[in-house]
Structure 1
């Protein structure tokens, strides 16, 4: 840690690293005007809806594809927020959604500085109706706060695989390559709509799925470098759930956050 600036030392302290990174509540930030509400609140509040952009109305054939749950990649790439949410809600592009799981849409700032992507929706996400909830979400919020970001104001958070992949016994399981490939166009459209300048992936599934690697490939091969997704700098780090289990790895996540922050500064 020699050569660390006073500012970086302050960030490290905010993250809870040294001597122990503890789980705590980050100070609440005032929701920005572009904040995305959880799914249930979205349905109850039309004030948060984004008006469709001119020239982006779905054509009749595309509308039928959305209704059938099978929009093409090209149709997804032309959707606005409302159309995208509707397409995810009725999607049957892969086995996970065909199992009748409830999809989990992204949440946070619709106009975002950072775009944070995890691997697959979990039972906790499904119950909360939002990605990265519970203790995992609290730790993510602390990580973002350490680099002067707030989920509601600056960051859009989503899962690569929207519908929870479930095992034969109903528990969470790792997604298949088919499931990741089927959901990727939805995530890429979310990224385009947010206009985020930095992508931070959480865990092996998200990093490999977005960078075109086999999902089983170890994360270590992607950490430590700045990659690119659709022209946006991408930094891969560990999933907060892993960090809760392996506290010694939290210093690695701090290095990744610093790398993402530097990439953002260079690009913008």
Structure 2
């Protein structure tokens, strides 16, 4: 039978199929394309990105220990603390609060941390709490300008006057220990729970207050913090008893 398809029409149909993507003509025998080997190039898996190098962990307490140990005097210790940048509290504080009073005095008071007034003036125990402390000391013939030296566990103010965190206390403890060693007091007075924790490793100021203990080779007496006494004036009777205990200790040593 003669085909009715002329060559022009046949060519047009072929070009149309090529345009659609036809690449193979129909052969005389069927082809099982599932049985053919896979000759398509396999996509390469992207190389695994190298894990970013972890920053080296800095042992802040060890760095503080090294910096504190290198200080041979109170001015050198102050400079070492001022240059210490590993405590985050420094970033939010106005300035370092190092100490006040008389270096070499027989009595050294350790407070907790600077508050707003201390942060502004750069001295520990100022403002209302400092004024009450001065009156307490004067009652037993002590004065920060003559025979008392004062510092804090932390030299920078915590945000919103929150309690210092254990890791902050641990980080700055080498500086406190060196501070006490360089000041060479005869007696330590630790005021408040944070100071008891840092110096004695104990908490519970209501139970600890007025009872002599030992730390760093020195007699230590815990007392209520003046800021606490401003909030709880009924506790001033116990604070007075503790002051008398301190005066008796100093009198026995003279």
Of residues 106, 110, 115, the one that matches 1:117 is 110
Of residues 181, 199, 211, the one that matches 1:225 is 211
Count of aligned pairs: 194
Between Structure 1 and Structure 2, whose CA radius of gyration is higher?
2
Relative to structure 1, is the Cα distance of residues 69 and 235 closer, same or farther in structure 2, using a 3 angstrom cutoff?
closer
1:202 lines up with 2:202 in the alignment: no
TM-score under structure 2 normalisation?
A: 0.70
Three-state SS of the structure 2 residue aligned to 1:210 is helix
Three-state SS of the structure 2 residue aligned to 1:152 is coil
1:72 is displaced (CA, Å) by 3.8
Of residues 138, 141, 144, the one that matches 2:134 is 141
Deviations 1:32-85 (A, max 9, x none): xxxxxxxxxxxxxxxxxxxxxxxxxxxxxxxxxxxx998441441341122111
TM-score under structure 1 normalisation?
A: 0.67
Q: Is the 8 A contact 2:100 2:151 kept in 1?
A: yes
1:257 lines up with 2:243 in the alignment: yes
Partner in structure 1 of residue 23 of structure 2: none
Q: Is the 8 A contact 1:233 1:264 kept in 2?
A: no
> Distance in 2 between the 1:118 and 1:236 partners?
10
1:174 lines up with 2:136 in the alignment: no
Relative to structure 1, is the Cα distance of residues 100 and 132 closer, same or farther in structure 2, using a 3 angstrom cutoff?
closer
1:65-104 alignment runs, 5 A limit: 71-79=63-71, 80-99=73-92, 102-104=95-97
1:105 is displaced (CA, Å) by 0.8
> Distance in 2 between the 1:243 and 1:69 partners?
33
Relative to structure 1, is the Cα distance of residues 227 and 74 closer, same or farther in structure 2, using a 3 angstrom cutoff?
farther
Q: Is the 8 A contact 1:118 1:202 kept in 2?
A: yes
Relative to structure 1, is the Cα distance of residues 71 and 81 closer, same or farther in structure 2, using a 3 angstrom cutoff?
farther
- Which structure 1 residue ranges, 5 or more long, are not aligned? 1-67
Deviations 1:145-202 (A, max 9, x none): 1111110111111110111111xxxx21110001111122222222122211111111
Three-state SS of the structure 1 residue aligned to 2:220 is strand
- Which structure 2 residue ranges, 5 or more long, are not aligned? 1-59
